[in-house]
Amino acid sequence: MAARVPVAVLISGRGSNMAALIEAAAGPDYPARIALVLANVADAPGLAIAAAAGVPTMAIPHRDFGRDRAAHERALHAVLTGAGVALVCLAGYMRLLTPVLVGAWAGRMINIHPSLLPAFPGLDTHARALAAGVKLHGCTVHRVTEVMDQGPILAQAAVPVLPGDTEDALAARVLAAEHRLYPAALAALARGEAGQPAPAGAILANPLPPGGDGD
Ligand code: GRF
């Protein structure tokens, strides 16, 4: 098999999508390897999960840079470059990015967002989906561009909104779909298949759980 593509994952918090990527990358045929987990918060819980899995970690707290977002991003970029990664996955990275980092990684940085974009960009997606009364919700992996949550879509997974759903129940159903979608989308990108017809599994069309709300 060809050399696996080295990937960095950027996180701010619990890192469950990061953990899903690390788990997938442990598979013998996975085309990418997680070379680094980088956080902008020193005590992001995901850092300990990554370290326990044997993945190198680093925190570069944005607070150390005051209001100078560009300086923080230059520091991130230096570490990413030094680690030799080819792709960057944002996974719950809760900072708006500037053209400094987005430009440096154009075409090589992807994000997962908890809605079916272009619906519900931004925050509180599950509450907004419930308020809007949509019957399908889900998640999107997209390329990162300078406009938040608007880069080209690589893959999506849909889940049903069920009668009586709470925000937490819907969030859990979407998160389970995220954990399947992100590894599939990264694999497609690492194999150079992004932009081609989606590989089986990269698009999970409305995967109704058996017997209803199974997640
Ligand atoms: C996920 O819902 C992701 O889609 C969004 O932030 C959340 C991060 O969760 N961007 P986790 O840190 O991966 O558990």
116-168 pLDDT, tens digit per residue, is 999 999 999 999 999 999 999 999 999 999 999 999 999 999 999 999 999 99
- Tens digits of per-residue pLDDT, 204-215? 433 333 333 333
113 is catalytic: yes
- Round the average pLDDT of the chain to a whole number and report it: 92
What's the gap in Å between 17 CA and the centre of ligand 1? 6
| Residue 87 banded pLDDT, cuts 50, 70, 90 | very high
CA 42 and chain centroid, separation: 19
Residue 142 Ramachandran class (φ > 0 left, ψ -120 to 50 alpha, else beta): beta
Q: Name the β-bridge partners of 89.
A: 9, 110
Would you list the DSSP string of 81-144?
HHTT-SEEEESS--SPPPHHHHHHTTTSEEEEESS-TTSS-SS-HHHHHHHHT-SEEEEEEEE-
Measure the CA–CA gap between 101 and 71, rounded to whole angstroms: 10
Among the atoms of ligand 1, which is closest to the Cα of residue 178? 4
Question: What is the H or E stretch that residue 38 is in?
Answer: strand 32-39
List pLDDT tens digits, range 190-205. Answer: 999 976 544 444 444 3
Asked if residue 114 has pLDDT above 90, the reply is yes
Q: What is the pTM of this model?
A: 0.91
Could you tell me which of 102, 96, 88 has the C-alpha nearest to residue 148?
96
Decide: 113 in ligand 1 pocket, CB within 6 A. yes
Residue of minimum CA distance from atom 2 in ligand 1: 114
Q: Which amino acid is at 24?
A: A
Residue 69 identity (one-letter amino acid):
R
User: Ligand 1 centroid vs 173 CA: distance in angstroms?
Assistant: 13
Q: Is 47 in contact with 91 (CB distance < 8 Å)?
A: no
As a whole number of angstroms, the distance between CA 67 and CA 80 comes to 21
* Cβ–Cβ < 8 Å for 59, 39: yes
> Is 176 close to ligand 1, i.e. is its CB under 6 Å away?
no
Report how far ligand 1's centroid is from the alpha carbon of 115 (Å): 11
